[in-house]
Amino acid sequence: MDKTKDTKLKYRFFWTWDHSMVWTPLVDGIQEYGCSNPYYKKPEVFIQDYKNCIDFCAANNYTGVIIYGFLRDCHGGTGAAQEICKYGRGKNVRVIPGIGVNSYGGVYWEGKHEFNLSTWLDRHPELEAVGQPYPGHPYLRIGCPSKKENRKWMKDSIRWLCETFEIGGINFETGDYGLCKCEECLSKSKRTGFWSPEDIVELLPPLIKEARDARPGILPICECYFNNILDTELHKPLQALPEGSILQFCIDHVYLPQFLSKMTPEKAAKLPTHPKVIRTHMGSQWNNERRRLVAKDFAKLVKKVAEAGMDGVTLFGEVPQTSTVNEINYLSVADFCDDPKMTWEEFTAKKLSPLFGGEGLAKKYIELLEKDKISTADLESAKKALREAKGQSYRRWLWMVEYLYTKSGQ
Beta bridge partners of 221: 171, 246
Q: Is 100 helix (H, G, I), strand (E, B) or coil?
A: strand
The one among 93, 180, 200, 222 contacting Zn ion by CB under 5 A: 180
The one among 63, 118, 146, 332 contacting Zn ion by CB under 5 A: 146
Query: Contact letters (x/-) for Zn ion, 319-358, by CB under 5 A?
Result: ----------------------------------------
Q: Hey, which residues between 253 and 312 contact Zn ion (CB under 5 A)?
A: none
Closest CA to 196 of 169, 158, 228: 228
CB closer to Zn ion out of 184 and 367:
184
From residue 381, give the alpha-carbon distance in Å to each of 41, 59, 66, 322, 401: 38, 31, 39, 21, 9
User: Do 174 and 102 form a contact (C-beta atoms < 8 A)?
Assistant: yes
Closest CA to 294 of 270, 316, 272, 275: 316
Can you list the alpha helix ranges (DSSP code H) found in 191-348? 197-214, 232-235, 256-262, 265-268, 295-307, 324-338, 344-347
**Smallest separation, CB 90 to Zn ion (Å):** 43
CB closer to Zn ion out of 146 and 321:
146
Q: For Zn ion, which stretch binds (CB under 5 A), given 83-91, 108-116, 183-191, 325-333?
A: 183-191
Q: For Zn ion, which stretch binds (CB under 5 A), given 49-57, 140-148, 253-261, 273-281?
A: 140-148
**Smallest separation, CB 190 to Zn ion (Å):** 13
CB closer to Zn ion out of 142 and 334:
142
User: Do 110 and 76 form a contact (C-beta atoms < 8 A)?
Assistant: no
The amino acid occupying position 269 is A
CB closer to Zn ion out of 180 and 369:
180
How far is it, in rounded angstroms, from Cα 275 to Cα 380? 48
Strands (E), 227-383: 246-251, 276-280, 312-316
308-342 CB burial, b ≥16 within 10 A, e <16? bebbbbbbbbbbbbbbbbbbbbbbbbbbbbbbbeb
**Smallest separation, CB 316 to Zn ion (Å):** 32
The amino acid occupying position 32 is E
CB closer to Zn ion out of 185 and 368:
185
CB closer to Zn ion out of 94 and 147:
147
Query: Contact letters (x/-) for Zn ion, 352-391, by CB under 5 A?
Result: ----------------------------------------
132 near Zn ion, rule: CB under 5 A: no
**Smallest separation, CB 233 to Zn ion (Å):** 25
How far is it, in rounded angstroms, from Cα 121 to Cα 128? 6
Give the binding-site size for Zn ion (rule: CB under 5 A): 5
CB atoms within 10 A of CB 61: 14
User: Do 120 and 153 form a contact (C-beta atoms < 8 A)?
Assistant: yes
The one among 57, 71, 84, 144 contacting Zn ion by CB under 5 A: 144
The one among 27, 74, 182, 401 contacting Zn ion by CB under 5 A: 182
**Smallest separation, CB 102 to Zn ion (Å):** 9
Residues in contact with 126: Cβ distance below 8 Å, sequence separation at least 6, in sequence order: none
**Smallest separation, CB 180 to Zn ion (Å):** 3
185 near Zn ion, rule: CB under 5 A: yes
Q: For Zn ion, which stretch binds (CB under 5 A), given 144-152, 229-237, 298-306, 373-381?
A: 144-152
**Smallest separation, CB 27 to Zn ion (Å):** 42
Chain residues in the site for Zn ion (CB under 5 A): 144, 146, 180, 182, 185
